Amino acid sequence: MGFFIETLIGGLMAGMLYSLVALGFVLIFKASSVFNFAQGAMVLFAALAMARFSEWFPIWFGFDNLFLANLLAFLAAGALMFLMAWLIERLVLRHLVNQEGATLLMATLGISYFVDGLGQSIFGSDIYQIDIGMPKEPVFALENVFEGGIMLNLEDLYAAAIAASLVIVLTLFFNKTTTGRALRAVADDHQAAQSIGIPLNRIWFIVWCVAGVVALVAGMIWGSKLGVQFSLTTVALRALPVIILGGLTSVPGAIIGGLLIGVGEKLSEVFLGSYVGGGIEIWFAYVLALIVLMFRPQGLFGEKIIDRV
């Protein structure tokens, strides 16, 4: 029982991180109907920028303070993500308005190749560390309930806390600020939003900025867990079943989908994987999402798809 709960909690933590990446997808899809395959590349780029800046700043400016270095690196990487958002909106999306979904998908794939190459030629392609001072040692909880207690990874707990607070901030931003309302209006109906004077181009820029910040936070957490390396881009592929499970247009869907997939992956790997040779967590999430899609084509929380001729 203790082992089961341990796996469950491990799954929830992993799921929280998936939903962080998934959030980036959902934000952009909601606002501009672009399925942003470059999200993984953006996560890698942001993480690389953060890792290298936190290494370079103390050398350039001659100080020795880990917190300050991380803070400055975070801000600098954030500024880079804003610049990238502006360039993508300006150079790519503006020219591709009203194209088919497949064309836009391919365009974001092109962007992801570009960003991958750019990030690695500026920041190098080795494995880098991000050290934001997260504790690595495990703690044990509920020792009086189960024998040996439940092993928890403090690092995961911190990561989950950061992810949760980011989600709360985003929810407040969407619901309480004028810009957030404008974003939701654009997401609901482009034409209606434009007709009441909301500038579409600016909204798209803001959405890509927000997605960039989400990518930065995701990259920071994943990077400090796994090290910053090229394989971070595959995190985006792991997050895809999350968004179709939760629904492409739903922010809560991304969160709950992430948790479901995280738990499902871990439980299936531990309790089912040994029968079929292991390594099933990669496709299990997709098959899980597929089964849900068969019953709810719009995902668990997506808007109902209504067809009219």
DSSP state of 303: P
What the block records as the tokens of 152 is 């928890």
Restricting to residues 52-111, name those near another protein by CB under 8 A. 91-92, 95-96, 99-103, 105-107, 109-111
Judged by CB under 8 A, does residue 269 bind another protein?
no
Judged by CB under 8 A, does residue 270 bind another protein?
no
Q: Binding pattern to another protein, positions 224-263, x when CB under 8 A?
A: -------------x--xx-xx---x---------------
Write phi, then psi, for 252 (nearest 5 degrees).
-60, -35
What the block records as the tokens of 123 is 């920041």
CB nearer to another protein: give 33 or 171. 33
Q: How far is the CB of 14 from another protein (least distance, A)?
A: 17
Q: Which of 7, 120, 179, 229 binds another protein (CB under 8 A)?
A: 120
Under 8 Å CB-to-CB from 36, ≥6 apart: which residues?
A: 24, 25, 28, 29, 108, 211
Judged by CB under 8 A, does residue 196 bind another protein?
no
Which of 272, 23, 1 is closest to 9 using CA atoms?
A: 1
Only segment of 49-57, 155-163, 196-204, 301-309 that touches another protein (CB under 8 A): 301-309
- Distance (Å, whole) CA 33 – CA 30: 6
Q: Binding pattern to another protein, positions 123-152, x when CB under 8 A?
A: --x---------------------------
Q: Which of 3, 83, 117, 148 binds another protein (CB under 8 A)?
A: 117
CB nearer to another protein: give 85 or 160. 85
What the block records as the tokens of 25 is 């997808």
What the block records as the tokens of 273 is 């994987």
What are the residues facing 139 on neighbouring strands? 152
- Distance (Å, whole) CA 308 – CA 65: 61
Residue type, 39: Q
Judged by CB under 8 A, does residue 12 bind another protein?
no
Cβ 24 vs Cβ 37: under 8 Å: no
Q: Where are the alpha helices (H) located in the chain, listed in sequence order?
A: 2-32, 39-61, 66-91, 101-123, 154-176, 178-188, 190-195, 200-226, 234-246, 251-271, 273-276, 281-295
Helix (H, G, I), strand (E, B) or coil at 218: helix
Q: What's the distance, Cα to Cα, between the start and end of the chain in Å?
A: 54
Q: How far is the CB of 156 from another protein (least distance, A)?
A: 25
Judged by CB under 8 A, does residue 176 bind another protein?
no
Q: How far is the CB of 126 from another protein (least distance, A)?
A: 10
Q: Binding pattern to another protein, positions 198-217, x when CB under 8 A?
A: --------------------
Size of the site for another protein (CB under 8 A): 51
Q: Which of 14, 48, 115, 130 binds another protein (CB under 8 A)?
A: 115
CB nearer to another protein: give 147 or 307. 307
Q: Which residues contribute to the site for another protein (CB under 8 A)?
A: 35, 91-92, 95-96, 99-103, 105-107, 109-118, 120-121, 125, 237, 240-241, 243-244, 248, 276-280, 282-283, 286-287, 289-290, 293-294, 297-299, 307-309
